[in-house]
């Protein structure tokens, strides 16, 4: 499976031998990686601006894996986590999975299992990373809009005609037409449908019909 550029795998395990072995395994599969002996050591590293996943030993002295997962989620970080464990903690794996872990692998696992999980997680990480970037781009465009323009955009994605928008906003149709043009330009779209798509991506939805809402 082609490795996405800029992806990175983090290995967090307190057993040195296991760290080394997993590192080699990843290297053999072409994944760049970094190893950490503890969760704390990992958190001290600045977050990686790219798709990455974490192979995380479920039980470690100090901050254990589940906690780390919670911390990261709370911080809004999107690293994908693969739990590995030597303890046979099957009952707790349900919690882990619910919290969004990619996989939960009891040691010893086959190399294919781990690498598959890594691929999946990086895949997802990549996707998420892309989506995030896209959203950020869209948001930048929206940030360039003036408030008036934003109001107009809001009503355009609702499918309203210029005449109706003018009435609603108590401006002339001509003004509205100008605004509309600028919105389309700033947003770098060529159709209303595209605009709607973009704004949906950043979570802006048209108001419900019949509602006279102020933007």
Interface residues with another protein (CB under 8 A)?
A: 15, 17-18, 20-22, 24-25, 27-30, 59-61, 64, 84, 86-89, 106-112, 114
Cβ-count burial 37-72 (b if 16+ within 10 Å, e if not): bbbeebbeeeeeeebbbbbbbbebeebebbebbeeb
CB 99, min distance to another protein, A:
18
Give the sheet arrangement for strand 52-57, strand by strand.
Answer: 33-36, 8-12, 52-57, 80-85, 103-106
Cα–Cα–Cα angle for 16, 17, 18, rounded to 5 degrees = 90
135's torsion region: left (phi>0), alpha (psi -120 to 50) or beta?
A: alpha
Residue placing its CB nearer to another protein in the complex, 18 or 138: 18
CB 185, min distance to another protein, A:
50
Q: How far is CA 117 from CA 86, 104, 135, 177, in A?
A: 17, 9, 26, 52
Residue placing its CB nearer to another protein in the complex, 105 or 138: 105
CB 36, min distance to another protein, A:
17
Residue placing its CB nearer to another protein in the complex, 15 or 173: 15
CB 23, min distance to another protein, A:
8
Give me the residue label for tokens 């969004």.
100
CB 58, min distance to another protein, A:
9
Residue placing its CB nearer to another protein in the complex, 107 or 148: 107
How is residue 82 annotated by DSSP? E
- What tokens does 141 get? 């465009």
Residue placing its CB nearer to another protein in the complex, 29 or 192: 29
Residue placing its CB nearer to another protein in the complex, 66 or 153: 66
CB 149, min distance to another protein, A:
54
- Give the integer Cα–Cα distance in Å for 214 and 208: 12
Helix spans in 36-110 (H): 39-44, 65-74, 90-98
């Amino acid at each position: 499976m082609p490795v996405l550029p800029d992806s990175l795998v983090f290995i967090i395990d307190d057993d040195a031998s296991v760290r080394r072995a997993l590192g080699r395994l990843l290297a053999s599969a072409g994944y760049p990686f970094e190893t950490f002996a503890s969760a704390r050591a990992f958190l001290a590293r600045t977050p990686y601006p790219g798709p990455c996943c974490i192979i995380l030993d479920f039980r470690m002295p100090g901050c254990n894996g589940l906690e780390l997962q919670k911390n990261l989620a709370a911080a809004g970080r999107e690293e994908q986590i693969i739990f590995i464990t030597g303890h046979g903690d099957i009952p707790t794996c349900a919690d882990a999975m619910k919290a969004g872990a990619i996989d939960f692998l009891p040691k010893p696992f086959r190399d294919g299992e781990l690498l598959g999980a890594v691929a999946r997680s990086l895949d997802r990480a990549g996707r998420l990373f892309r989506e995030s970037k896209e959203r950020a781009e869209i948001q930048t465009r929206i940030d360039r809009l003036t408030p008036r323009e934003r109001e107009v955009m809001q009503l355009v994605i609702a499918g309203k005609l210029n005449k109706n928008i003018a009435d609603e906003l108590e401006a002339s149709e001509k003004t509205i037409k100008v605004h509309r043009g600028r919105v389309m330009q700033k947003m770098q779209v060529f159709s209303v449908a595209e605009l709607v798509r973009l704004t949906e991506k950043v979570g802006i939805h048209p108001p419900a019909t019949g509602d006279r809402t102020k933007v």
